[in-house]
Structure 1
Amino acid sequence: MIHLLKSIFGSADTSNIEEVLAKGAIIIDVRSAGEFASGHAKGAVNIPLDQLESKLYKIKSYQKPLVLCCASGMRSARAKSFLADQGIADLHDAGSWRNLK
């Protein structure tokens, strides 16, 4: 049951996010442009979830750890899963962008 809830609502493990960011990770906020404009983590890049596939070349060009965030953790969990399926490693789900303040 817990596994099911985590898969539905996301299960961000933010325990090592500060360490990953200190190593130069790129923050990718997968919320819509409007949501991003209303507030976001400092230095974050906005690539909405529905644009990940078309921006894959850009994401792969970063060649750094990636920290994914959104509003609640649902979209960032989906983004992490999609990017992992595309062969991108060193992915970290921060859940809500507010966890990065």
Structure 2
Amino acid sequence: MGFLEFIFGTKKRQVQEFLDNGAIILDVRTQREWENGHLENAMHIPLKDLNTRVDEVKKLKKPIITCCESGARSAKAAKFLNLNNIEATNGGGWIKLSRL
């Protein structure tokens, strides 16, 4: 097993574990990006709005998998959610996440 396969395999297992525990997928892309396509049943809160809507996420009482276009914004969102006592992981890009 190569290093990259190990890293991405670990991430895939973590995302699957979250899904198995009833996680909600949170798409943090812009409204325009969302309208151009998104995962079915995903929740949408743009990253710029997450700070003011964090209580909405807390009320879900579910683990969260964040996603965006490439994984950069979703990494920021997952970190922010974790700092706010919400179990979250970065799922990366939404298209790649859809292939799990």
Give TM-score scaled by structure 1 length.
Answer: 0.80
Equivalent pair of 1:14/1:93 in contact (CA under 8 Å) = no
Q: 2:94 aligns with which of 74, 92, 97?
A: 97
In the alignment, the residues of structure 1 paired with residue 85 and residue 20 of structure 2 have an alpha-carbon distance, to the nearest angstrom, of 23
Q: Which residue of 1 is the match for residue 16 of structure 2?
A: 18
Alignment coverage as a number of residue pairs: 89
Instruction: State the Cα distance separating 1:63 from its structure 2 match.
Output: 0.4
Q: Which residue of 1 is the match for residue 74 of structure 2?
A: 76
Which structure shows the bigger proportion of residues in helix conformation?
Answer: 2
Runs (5+) with no aligned partner, structure 1: 1-11
Give TM-score scaled by structure 2 length.
Answer: 0.81
**Is residue 30 of structure 1 aligned with residue 28 of structure 2?**
yes
Runs ≥4 residues deviating over 4 A: none
RMSD of the TM alignment (CA)? 1.5
Q: 1:54 aligns with which of 38, 52, 55?
A: 52
Runs (5+) with no aligned partner, structure 2: 1-9
In the alignment, the residues of structure 2 paired with residue 20 and residue 86 of structure 1 have an alpha-carbon distance, to the nearest angstrom, of 18
Q: Which residue of 2 is the match for residue 3 of structure 1?
A: none
Give the aligned residue type for 2:83: D
Question: With CA pairs under 8 Å and 6+ residues apart, which has the higher RCO, 1 or 2?
Answer: 1
